Structure 1
Amino acid sequence: MTLRLFLALAGSLFGALAQAGEVTVAVAANFTAPMQKIAQAFEQDTGHKAQLAFGATGKFYAQIKNGAPFAVLLAADDETPARLEKEGLVVAGTRFTYATGRLALWSKSPSLVDDQGDVLRGNRFEKLGIHKIALADSKLAPYGAAAMEVMTHLGVWPAVKTKLVQGESIGQTYQFVSTENAQLGFVALSQISFDGRITQGSAWVVPQSMHTAIKQDAVLLNAGKDNAAAIALLKYLQADKAKTIIRQYGYAL
Structure 2
Amino acid sequence: MRPSLMVFFSALATGLLLAAPLNITIEGYNVQELISVSWGEGASGAFLPGYQYRSNFTVFWAIPTSALQGIDSDKVEIFITASAPENSTLQFEGSNTKEISFTLACIVYEGECAANSSLSRQIEFTFVPSQNQPNTSELISINASLYAPAEHGLEPQGILRSLAEAASNYSGLLTNSTSLDAYANTTGSLLQQPQNQSAHTPSAPSSFLLENPLLSLAAFALVILVTGAYLLKNKD
**Could you say which TM-score interval applies, normalised by the shorter chain?**
under 0.3
Q: Higher relative contact order by CA 8 Å / sep ≥ 6: 1 or 2?
A: 1
Structure number having the greater helix percentage: 1
Using the size of structure 1 for normalisation, the TM-score is: 0.25
